[in-house]
Amino acid sequence: MRKIIVAVAAAILTIAAAEAPPAWTSDLFKNADTIQFYTADETGKGHWSTVWVVVIDGAPYIRLGRRAASRIDGNSNAPFVNIKVGNQEFDHVLAQPALDMADKVASAMADKYTMDILVRFMDHPLTMRLVPAPVAIPHGG
């Protein structure tokens, strides 16, 4: 009987480990072409915005144009957003303004994205650091 209990417990742990999504890591963001962030307006209507992402000193950063920045400004869940990276979603992520990083983020965007040769000339009023707060909780996709 004890062998059966141990075998069942081992099988459950193996299945749980196999289904567990990857944790929040800088590589997850480095390897992503784009990510999405979710905001909700004052009526509760939500929207997923797709943006480029770069990693500087281990932290993911996004650079927002006017439309995406206005969604952050009107976000009823501020300062938190949900993030989709590939098939992973993280809830309760702190979207932290990082205006002091705007030049570094712009340079990193130019290095990572060929199309930045055109996009860099558009207005980007908001640069943000994404921080799991207190712990980004992944759920599968």
| pLDDT bucket at 1, cuts 50 / 70 / 90 | low
Identify the band that residue 125 occupies on the pLDDT scale cut at 50, 70 and 90: confident
The answer to the question of residue 4 being in a domain is no
In this structure, is residue 77 part of a structural domain?
Answer: yes
Q: Return the closest-CA partner of residue 119 out of 98, 101, 105, 99.
A: 105
Range of the domain at 44: 23-139
Q: Is the pLDDT of residue 130 over 70?
A: yes
Domain assignment present for residue 2? The answer is no
77-111 pLDDT tens trace: 999 999 999 999 999 999 999 999 999 999 999 99
What is the mean predicted confidence (pLDDT) over 67-75? Answer: 95
Whether 45 maps to a domain, the answer reads yes
Residue 16 maps to a domain: no
CATH assignment at residue 74: 2.30.110.10
Quote the percentage of the chain above a pLDDT of 70: 72
Give 39-89 as a DSSP string.
Answer: EE-TT--EEEEEE--EEETTEEEEEE-HHHHHHHHT-TTTTEEEEEETTEE
Per the structure, how many domains does the chain have?
1
pLDDT of 117: 75
Q: Confirm whether 63 is domain-assigned.
A: yes
Residue 53 lies in a domain: yes
Identify which has the larger pLDDT, 41 or 18: 41
- On whether residue 10 sits in a domain, the answer given is no
pLDDT for 5 beyond 50: no
What integer best gives the mean pLDDT of the chain?
Answer: 83
